[in-house]
């Protein structure tokens, strides 16, 4: 008899089979990760610097707006990264 874990893993495998990536796909995904890590770091540095300036100036409405902008941009960049990685995974080679 199979355990509940084994049965669950079989169902999961049927729903979304494991993809085996080629070396080229792995490299492309690594490049995408590297590029987006740099973009995210760049945006964080820029906006956090602006947040510090506005906080020091006592402009708390602007601080809140910048924090929301930072969160939105980080979310957008992360979504873009995942979409590009998924496109690479779906390529048949």
CA dihedral (48, 70, 60, 50) positive or negative:
positive
Q: Report which of 88, 54, 81, 89 is spatially closest to residue 69, judged by C-alpha positions.
A: 54
Mutual orientation of helices 23-56 and 60-90 as an angle, nearest 10°? 180
Question: Is the pTM here over 0.95, yes or no?
Answer: no
Mean pLDDT by 10 residues, the chain (93 residues): 82 74 93 97 96 94 96 97 94 70
pLDDT in tens, 13-37: 777 666 788 999 999 999 999 999 9
């Amino acid at each position: 008899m199979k355990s509940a874990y084994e049965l669950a893993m079989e169902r999961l495998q049927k729903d979304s089979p494991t993809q085996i990536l080629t070396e080229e796909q792995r490299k492309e995904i690594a490049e995408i990760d590297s590029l987006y890590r740099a973009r995210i770091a760049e945006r964080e540095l820029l906006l956090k610097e602006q947040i510090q300036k506005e906080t020091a100036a006592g402009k708390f409405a602007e601080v809140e707006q910048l924090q929301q902008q930072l969160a939105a941009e980080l979310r957008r960049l992360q979504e873009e990264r995942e979409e590009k990685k998924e496109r690479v995974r779906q390529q048949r080679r």
